[in-house]
């Protein structure tokens, strides 16, 4: 089977909104896990076969770099016009006070969703995406600090204050770490607990479920259960 094609749209998002989810996936990737299995690291035997065969694309309107939070300047790997066919598209959260979705990005998002491909948003990404119309009439969430703003700016969307919301092929999450939790859930469901436990251990990540409760018993807590 061909590798999954995973794209991140380079609106000027808060860096961790995309990097958190992307590094959960890259930690679960055949590329990383095969290197560890080949080096015979403990617990890695047979893991490559269970890992995600995935390639990542960073998509801008042009090949110009984009400046994100913390003075991060990221280079696109492709453009809206040259991007290979994607299976998944992620939109992180831009500054909701200043950002306006461009017509080209809006068209790119609409086409992706119309083809039945999966769209993920994190943080204020849903508010940016709402301007494309793909959330019209859908259940969705957004960074919880901006739910009221979202209701005013995009009243046709059924905004909910949840950790994440799945409506058809559109997955929307709240703040950055809720976005990581959403991807943790996606990995557990689609690739199983062996891969998930490896990823969570490698990142020392303790994901929460859709209600905000820990998925697994604490890895390190000595005070709590």
Residues 152-181 touching a second copy, rule: CB under 8 A, are: 163, 174-178
Choose among 162, 66, 168, 67: nearest CA to 120: 168
Which pair of structure tokens corresponds to residue 76?
Answer: 């696109």
One character per residue 21-60, x = contact with a second copy (rule: CB under 8 A): -xx-xxx----x--xx--x-x-------------xxxx--
Q: Decide if residue 218 touches a second copy (CB under 8 A).
A: yes
216 binds a second copy (CB under 8 A): no
Distances (CA, A) of 132 to 6, 9, 115, 125, 183: 20, 13, 15, 12, 23
Is 121 a residue that touches a second copy (CB under 8 A)?
Answer: no
Is 92 a binding residue for a second copy by CB under 8 A? The answer is no
Q: Which residue, among 102, 23, 96, 95, has the nearest Cα to 59 in the 3D structure?
A: 102
Q: Does 116 bind a second copy (CB under 8 A)?
A: no
Question: Applying CB under 8 A, does 201 fall inside the site for a second copy?
Answer: yes
List 97, 114, 116, 137, residue binding a second copy (CB under 8 A): 97
- Sign, CA dihedral 37-41-46-51, equals negative
65 forms part of the interface with a second copy (CB under 8 A): yes
Cα distance between the two ends of the chain: 42
Is residue 4 a contact point for a second copy (CB under 8 A)?
no
The answer to whether the beta carbons of residues 178 and 163 sit under 8 Å apart is: yes
Q: Strand, coil or helix: what is 178? A: helix
Between 87 and 209, CB nearer to a second copy: 209
Q: Does residue 63 bind a second copy (CB under 8 A)?
A: no
Contact (CB, 8 A) for 30 and 48:
yes
Give the number of other CB atoms < 10 A from CB of residue 71. Answer: 7
- Could you say whether residue 144 binds a second copy (CB under 8 A)? yes
Question: Does residue 205 belong to the site contacting a second copy (CB under 8 A)?
Answer: yes
Site residues, a second copy (CB under 8 A): 14-16, 19-20, 22-23, 25-27, 32, 35-36, 39, 41, 55-58, 65, 69-75, 77, 95, 97-98, 143-145, 163, 174-178, 201-206, 208-209, 211-214, 218-224
């Amino acid at each position: 089977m061909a590798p999954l094609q995973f794209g991140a749209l380079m609106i000027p998002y808060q860096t961790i909104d995309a990097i958190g989810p992307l590094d959960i996936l890259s930690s679960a990737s055949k590329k990383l896990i095969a290197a560890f299995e080949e080096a015979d690291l403990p617990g890695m035997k047979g893991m490559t076969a269970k890992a995600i065969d995935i390639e990542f694309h960073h998509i801008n309107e042009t090949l110009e770099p984009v400046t994100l939070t913390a003075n991060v300047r990221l280079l696109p790997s492709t453009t809206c016009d040259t991007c290979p066919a994607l299976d998944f598209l992620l939109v992180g959260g831009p500054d909701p006070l200043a950002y306006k979705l461009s017509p080209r990005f809006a068209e790119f998002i609409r086409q992706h969703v119309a083809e039945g491909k999966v769209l993920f948003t994190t943080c204020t990404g849903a508010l940016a995406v709402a301007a494309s119309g793909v959330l019209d009439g859908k259940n969705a969430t957004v960074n919880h600090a901006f739910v009221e703003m979202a209701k005013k700016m995009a009243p046709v969307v059924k905004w909910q204050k949840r950790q994440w919301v799945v409506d058809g092929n559109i997955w929307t999450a709240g703040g950055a770490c809720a976005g990581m939790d959403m991807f943790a859930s996606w990995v557990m469901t689609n690739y199983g607990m062996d891969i998930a436990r490896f990823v969570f251990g490698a990142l020392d990540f303790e994901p929460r479920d859709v209600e905000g409760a820990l998925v697994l018993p604490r890895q390190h807590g000595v005070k709590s259960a």
